[in-house]
Amino acid sequence: MRFISALAAVSLTTLGLTAPAYAHPGAEQVSGSTASGYGGAIATVDATATAAGLEVLRRGGNAVDAAVAAAATLGVTEPFASGIGGGGFFVYYDARKQRVYTIDGRETGPATMTPTYFVNPATGLPYVFDEARVSGLSVGVPGTLATWESAAKQWGTRPLGSALSTAAEVADRGYTVDGEFRRQVTENAAAFGQFDASKALYLPGGAPPAIGTTIKNPDLAATYRQIARQGTGAFYRGAIGRDLLRTVAQPAVSSSPTSPWAYPIRPGVLTARDLAAYQVRHPAPTRSDFKGLSVYGMSTPSSGGTAVGEALNILEASPLDSATTVDKLHYYLEASALSFADRGRYVGAYTAPSVLKDLISDRWAKGRACAIDPKKALAKPVAPGPGCTPATAAAAPDNGMSTTNLTVADKWGNVVEYTLTLEQFGGNGMVVPGRGFMLNNELTDFNFTGTQGTAPDPNLPGPGKRPRSSMSPTIVLKDGKPFLATGAPGGSTIITTVLQILVNRLELGMTLPQAVAAPRAAQRNTAGIQAEPAFHTTYGPELTARGHVFAADAPEIGAATAIEFTRHGGQLAVAEPVRRGSGSAAVVHPAS
């Protein structure tokens, strides 16, 4: 997202990235969105994070070491979409064991959480989204730090402290505000403006920072260093955690907010016991087979693995072989809608494994594929399965467009696909005073009230429950070896973005850079498709003629990252060329 700043470059000089910042082999590529070569590859949304991960790979670290280093750096330079106040999902292919593992670092709700947690007791009505978001209520126990620790301990070769210390340097020396960063602050100015600690960092002089200015975060540097010295107990059971809990219980509302806020800022109920009890989970990855490839994804509490897997299975059960591009897009949109209907009805943190298995079975997909008419779009929303009942059901509400994603591979063939988030850009709007990191609002990913009519809703709040996610870090194997890895940000469009990249690459004959760059459209079982303008212009007329309906265009959907494993050990790293101000891809040894 941001080009490396002069100050960050100075910081990275200490790592061997001498000024000018791209002087060593491979590092010159951190400013590009595509890099091909071998010896290790990385793609993130941010050049500083990519450079940090690349440096670890260059020095013999593995993909997990590099992913943790890049993520810790993103916590500094992408503070509104990631960081130790949030959570995420980490998918790892271990080359030696030839197996895919996952870490569920999703935030958890308080032990006292009930299904009516987001219903205002005074009115009996659910809170308005922003009222729930900018509050202590929306904050789940963060899982990001525990994810890094778990990954580093199980599969890494370097202590977590080394990634934190390096990222602390970036926080101390600062990074440069670009247009995208300023846009994210501007979008959040009213929320940030309610809290002195958020204002002090991100609204200098009461307004969003000017492009080109430097943001330093010495509080975050000190927090990272304290954790590096004392371990993650300082966060989950110590002084940092106490400060977090205080901010949740007594939001430090400014006596001089920069603008009015329409809602009361409510306290939350997280306890020290909730924080201390936090543990990452290691669910088995989801697996679906698509045309001879094995597609591994994230299981519950994310719906990403089952939703992407089910849609791919529906596509595999559809007559695509001699189909045109528009036919294939028609099937892509229909498969996505059907899969979203099933996600809404069946998938939540506690969905039984047998139900998940059913959802990504070929048998289920065959039953759903029969609903698709090759020439006419189904009326949306469609009903959940099994089978292809044409009745409609209520659409699930949408969520935000934030989050960040990174993809890393090393020279041994290990691969990491990692998506992390605070939920909305800027989470709940609160920087923990004196600690420099922002809190998540992940609990607003629960449905505030039932969405499934008389059927039970699998994503209502509950004690210690994790909200359903759409994050879809995905690793595709061919003959048991990595073929492609990808993931994306974007709320529930994460699922459609990952699916569309796979369809572009595997069905539409695009190269990986083309598949990532191509204009996107998301059909999430809503009345209208949300599309980027270029998709709408190019395919809108023919798809509309088949009965598809387009909602208002989205300026952009999902800044993805990906790596493809090419012949003879080659690696092709791809980040967004344009979206979110463009990302940054690099390889250790660029192909000449």
Give the footprint of ligand GLU on this chain (CB under 6 A): 399-403, 421, 423, 442, 445, 469-471, 489-491, 494
In the bound state with ligand GLU, the residue whose beta carbon lies nearer, of 203 and 494, is: 494
Three-state SS at 578: coil
Structural contact between residues 476 and 501, judged by C-beta atoms closer than 8 angstroms = no
Tokens, residue 552: 């208002």
* Rounded-to-integer distance, Cα 461 and Cα 228, Å: 34
Tokens, residue 178: 């670009």
User: What minimum distance in Å lies between the beta carbon of 490 and ligand GLU?
Assistant: 5
In the bound state with ligand GLU, the residue whose beta carbon lies nearer, of 29 and 470, is: 470
User: What minimum distance in Å lies between the beta carbon of 35 and ligand GLU?
Assistant: 25
Structural contact between residues 332 and 374, judged by C-beta atoms closer than 8 angstroms = no
Residue 407 forms beta bridges with which residues? 43, 417
User: What minimum distance in Å lies between the beta carbon of 563 and ligand GLU?
Assistant: 21
In the bound state with ligand GLU, the residue whose beta carbon lies nearer, of 340 and 483, is: 340
Provide the annotated active-site residues: 403
* Rounded-to-integer distance, Cα 278 and Cα 140, Å: 10
Neighbours of 484 (CB within 10 A): 26
* Rg of the chain over all Cα atoms, to the nearest angstrom: 22
User: What minimum distance in Å lies between the beta carbon of 400 and ligand GLU?
Assistant: 3
In the bound state with ligand GLU, the residue whose beta carbon lies nearer, of 315 and 498, is: 498
In the bound state with ligand GLU, the residue whose beta carbon lies nearer, of 75 and 489, is: 489
In the bound state with ligand GLU, the residue whose beta carbon lies nearer, of 316 and 445, is: 445
What interhelical angle do 493-506 and 325-346 show, nearest 10? 150
Q: Please provide the DSSP assignment of 298-322 as one string.
A: --TTBSHHHHHHHHHHHHHTS--TT
Neighbours of 96 (CB within 10 A): 9
Separation in Å, CA 428 to CA 128, 182, 335: 14, 18, 34
Q: Please provide the DSSP assignment of 141-163 as one string.
A: BP-HHHHHHHHHHHH-SS-HHHH
DSSP state, 568? G
DSSP state, 212? T
Residue 253 forms beta bridges with which residues? 195
Residue 176 forms beta bridges with which residues? 214
User: What minimum distance in Å lies between the beta carbon of 443 and ligand GLU?
Assistant: 10
In the bound state with ligand GLU, the residue whose beta carbon lies nearer, of 95 and 551, is: 551
* Rounded-to-integer distance, Cα 294 and Cα 288, Å: 6
In the bound state with ligand GLU, the residue whose beta carbon lies nearer, of 442 and 507, is: 442
* Rounded-to-integer distance, Cα 422 and Cα 132, Å: 14
Q: Which residue do the tokens 């009942």 mark?
A: 389
User: What minimum distance in Å lies between the beta carbon of 106 and ligand GLU?
Assistant: 8
Vertex 337 angle, CA 303 and 386, to 5°: 75
User: What minimum distance in Å lies between the beta carbon of 22 and ligand GLU?
Assistant: 30
Structural contact between residues 482 and 413, judged by C-beta atoms closer than 8 angstroms = yes
Separation in Å, CA 546 to CA 374, 375, 523, 541: 9, 6, 15, 9
In the bound state with ligand GLU, the residue whose beta carbon lies nearer, of 183 and 366, is: 183
In the bound state with ligand GLU, the residue whose beta carbon lies nearer, of 288 and 493, is: 493
What sign does the CA torsion over 334, 336, 341, 346 have?
positive
Q: Please provide the DSSP assignment of 226-255 as one string.
A: HHHHH-THHHHTSHHHHHHHHHHHS--B-S
Tokens, residue 483: 């073929």
User: What minimum distance in Å lies between the beta carbon of 89 and ligand GLU?
Assistant: 8
Residue 590 forms beta bridges with which residues? 37
* Rounded-to-integer distance, Cα 521 and Cα 550, Å: 9
Specify the pairing of strand 404-410 against strand 415-421. antiparallel
User: What minimum distance in Å lies between the beta carbon of 157 and ligand GLU?
Assistant: 30
User: What minimum distance in Å lies between the beta carbon of 178 and ligand GLU?
Assistant: 20
In the bound state with ligand GLU, the residue whose beta carbon lies nearer, of 198 and 302, is: 302
Three-state SS at 258: coil
User: What minimum distance in Å lies between the beta carbon of 14 and ligand GLU?
Assistant: 33
Neighbours of 16 (CB within 10 A): 12
